[in-house]
Structure 1
Amino acid sequence: MVKSVIEEIDNGVFGLLVDESADVSDKEHMAVVFRFVDKKGAVKEMFVGVVHVKETSSLSLKHAIDELFAKYGLSLKKVRGQGYDGASNMKGEFNGLRSLIFKENSSAYYVHCFAHQLQLVVVAVAKKIFEIADFFDMVSMSLNVVGASCKRKDKVREHYQEMLELLVVTLTQGKDIIKKFLFKGLELQEEGADDSKRCQAYGLLKYIQTFDYVFYMHLMLLILGICENLSMALQSKNQDILNAMSLVESTKQELQRIRDDGWDSLMLTVSSFCEKHDTQMLDMEEGFIDSRRPRKKTNITNLHHYKVNCFNATLDLKLQEFNDRFTEVNTELLICMASLNPIGAFRGFDKSKLVKLAKFYPDDFCFMDCLSLEQQLGIFIDNVRHDQRFKNLKSHGYLSFLMVETEKHIAHLLVYRLLKLDLTLPVATASVERCFSAMTSEDSSTKSNGRSFFK
């Protein structure tokens, strides 16, 4: 399999994606995936192998990569992009795996996994806003209570099936399935013998019938729903980095729109839910009572607390985290790459920036190549703008594939070489993580036979 991947790369350039994890026997392993453009112009991310490492220090990981490359006759000089999840041993600017590879190959540019950055954005909001953190703690506790007992899970499944059957018969009179699902599990917990667990279940039941629970549930459903499309898109192996950047910007714009104009719509949804499920709706003009200090006057209204301190603060923090964590979108390398974006009939095309981009890769473009590229770019842009087949392209990936299909990659060889370099930069480490997920599943299934998946 590895040999077939190497044959597809055909001595060309590629991106390196690495992730490390421990198996069920606590042995550390490193998974390796290559990202490259195949002979048809399609972007591929192919699993190369799993390597056992004694420890996960950057030096140990680098040594394992060197051994893997030596085994298959590969060279680090062909690496044009590095993609990791952002752990310090990976991305460390001075001693991380990223810097160790960059010292050997200055064209192996690093991109912090976009999907991991998005996860950090979500986690930051959950940690820094007290009410949001409390909400997730309660949800987590509820799920743990329901899932802690096989008996309770079986009973909940039975109840869930009954509710589905009822919902099919009387769709207009159906109740909220998720709420009833939790209710049943918590009620079963109340039937247990342990007084502390019954008290815990009672407290959870009481919480999920409060306005706070309804409000934060719908707020997070709104925010996470907006981010879900971005999350799924970032995990696509054929996603190119400029399209990913564009999706990040679109998500930020949508969050800003919700921040500016989404309050009334959210409160309408919350109010409707409260009315439908007999949850007491708060009067927004009344004084806010802090449940942590109920006797102390807050001197603010419910409206001020939920809109300003919660709704606005959560979205402001979300936008701030997006701006802080997705710093790659401002790097000179990616700004130059944007000049080859085919969207809008190549409206962002800039010859000088593309020549500058070529100079980021001295091993791929010598001085004479850069001079020839400048002339070729003018011919290329005129050629594709007058070709109907190149209209309405959505990304660099489509451009690459179409150039090969129409054989323009031969006529515009240097432009296509530049495009391939762009596409080797990894967007996310999802492909590597899927390898570990698959292996963990198989490892669990073989554990009973007394053998480990990893060798």
Structure 2
Amino acid sequence: MKGEFNGLRALVVRENNAAYYVHCFAHQLQLVVVAIAKKHFEVGDFFDMISTLVNVVGASCKRQDMIRETYRKKVQEGISSGEINTGTGLNQEISLQRPGNTRWGSHQRTLQRLVELFSSIIEVLEYIQNEGVEDSKKRQAYGLLKYFHTFDCVFYMQLMLLILGLTENLSMALQRKDQDILNAMSLVESTKRELQKLRDDGWDSLMNKVSSFYVFVDPRKPRRKTNITNLHHYKVNCFYTIIDLQLQEFNDRFTEVNTDLLICMASLSPLDSFQEFNREKLVRLAKFYPDDFSYGEVLSLEQHLDIYIDNVSRDERFKSLKSLGELSRLMVKTQKHLAHPLVYRLLKLVLTLPVATASVERCFSAMKLVNTAARNRIGDQFLSDCLVCYIEKELFEAVTNENVIKRFQLLNERRVVL
């Protein structure tokens, strides 16, 4: 899709220089976070160790039960001593969650579980090292124990929890079906500002978390003394470098042109009686398409927009519109596309700029599950019907078997009532 030379994006741009490519926001955020593991070797090594830990600890039900039992005993001890409160929904049974490669939001939950179950996991790793049957698993357990007792492990665990926590709110917002472009763009900017704030003022608070947890990890070992060499490595080579990578990826993937383009596009929205209408932004939007709007048309567009908004905002037929598609159809139906040709041209250009959402990404994933090798002769219409049923599960849950049978019975006269 995004190939620089032969991708769909490149082929379209060859035909139209004013064509703009807007990647799925949720996918872009995924690539932003993944970039850390790819470009910073120590962070990549940390997540490789997490994957190995999940494979070793979760390799058998017995080991998983050991973690749950160890955690349960610690909770009981905490309740008995008064350190842990009780109540509805508290102290639920938990386990180490396997992170998904395609959804980096799951890595945050894995790290949170790792922090919560840390002492239980250490006990299980020690058991595997001493009592394990397979030599390979015993060596893996030994290597994991050695790594999880290091300062590096605790440092990257706490740092990635901070970064993934800052991007979680944006990630959840971008995965919504009813995605709001303006809110999405504002959340991107807010996330970038919070990352910059973390870079400027977050070092001391991070080190306090790391230091307190490092004492908890292995109180028998003396804490490493921090000299200027260690300070420079962890603060400059790690902390600053990782956050700078995040900010750089945010700026590269959520470009200023795309952000400005989408914000201007939202000014055409008919929601709430054209509440988002902004003449200056729409004029700026027209300037993104120099092949479609001449210099003179851009100058006259300001007056056209004033007349357009006064005309449609007073028309009762335009009060309850929900989307740009509905606005376009109604303008043609009411012949207003002839009265406001420049605005309608701008509206058509905006409609040719579809913004992919996480829902679209999930549709492609669903296609792999529905159109399997065993269904290699499935027709397009039947495939489309199957995909609708699979993707819109929430809607079809309300349809009962009795309704389906009744509908099928009424399609044609049958000798036997179903």
TM-score when normalising by structure 1: 0.58
Is residue 221 of structure 1 aligned with residue 149 of structure 2? no
Cα deviation, residue 237, structure 1: 3.4
Classify the secondary structure of the residue corresponding to 2:171.
helix
Contact 1:159 1:181 in 2 (8 A): yes
- Which one-letter code corresponds to 2:284 in the other structure? K
Q: 2:23 aligns with which of 100, 112, 115?
A: 112
Aligned length: 334
Larger relative contact order (CA 8 Å, sep ≥ 6): 1
Distance 1:275 1:97 in 2: 53
Which residue number in structure 2 is paired with residue 324 of structure 1?
A: 252
CA distance in 1, matches of 2:168, 2:253: 17
Asked if 2 retains the 8 angstrom alpha-carbon contact of 1:283 and 1:302, the reply is no
Match of 1:124 in 2: 35
User: Letter of the aligned partner of 1:378 in structure 2?
Assistant: D
Residue range with higher mean Cα deviation, 258-267 or 229-238: 229-238
How far apart are the structure 1 equivalents of 2:371 and 2:58?
23
Structure 2 CA distance for aligned equivalents of residues 421 and 97 of structure 1: 19
Question: Are 1:442 and 1:453, in contact at CA under 8 Å, matched by a contact in 2?
Answer: no
Answer yes or no: is the 8 Å Cα contact 2:27–2:358 preserved in 1: no
* Cα displacement (A) at 1:256: 0.6
Counterpart residue number, 1:353: 284
- Residue 120 of structure 1 deviates from its aligned partner by 2.4
Contact 1:91/1:97 (8 A) holds in 2: yes
Assess if the C-alpha contact under 8 Å between 1:242 and 1:338 holds in 2: yes
What amino acid is aligned across from residue 123 of structure 1 in structure 2?
V
Amino acid at match of 1:147: G
Select the residue among 237, 250, 263 that pairs with 1:309.
237
Matched, 1:258 2:198: yes
CA spacing shift, 1:158–1:416, aligned 2, 3 Å: farther
* SS at structure 2 position matched to 1:239: coil
From the superposition, tell whether residues 370 and 325 of structure 1 become closer, same or farther in structure 2 (CA, over 3 Å).
Answer: closer
Which has more radius of gyration?
Answer: 2
Deviation at 1:424, TM superposition (A): 6.1
Mapped partners of 2:325, 2:188: distance in 1:
24
CA–CA separation in structure 2 for the residues paired with 1:95 and 1:377: 39
1:320–1:124 Cα change, 3 Å: same
Residue 258 of structure 1: how far off its partner (Å): 0.4
Other-structure match for 2:147: 207
Q: Percent identity?
A: 59
Confirm or deny: 8 A CA contact 1:242 1:334 kept in the other structure: yes
Counterpart pick for 2:185 among 227, 240, 245:
245
AA of the residue aligned to 2:234: Y
Q: What are structure 1's unaligned runs of at least 5 residues?
A: 1-89, 288-299, 387-396
Deviation at residue 274 of structure 1 after TM alignment: 3.0
8 A Cα contact 2:192 2:250, kept in partner = yes
Helix, strand or coil at the partner of 1:92: coil
CA shift, 1:259, in A, is 0.3
Question: Greater shift after overlay, 346-355 or 321-330?
Answer: 346-355
Bigger CA drift: 222-231 or 237-246?
237-246
Question: Aligned to 2:36, what secondary structure does the other structure show?
Answer: helix
**1:224: how far off?**
1.2
Per-residue CA deviations over 1:65-102 (Å, capped at 9, x if unaligned) read xxxxxxxxxxxxxxxxxxxxxxxxx2224422234456
TM-score of the superposition, structure 2-length normalised?
0.62
CA contact (8 A) 2:170 2:188 kept: yes
Q: What per-residue deviation string (whole Å, max 9, x for no partner) do you get for residues 278-334 of structure 1?
A: 4557455x44xxxxxxxxxxxx43222211221112112221222233336368855
SS in 1 for 2:83: helix
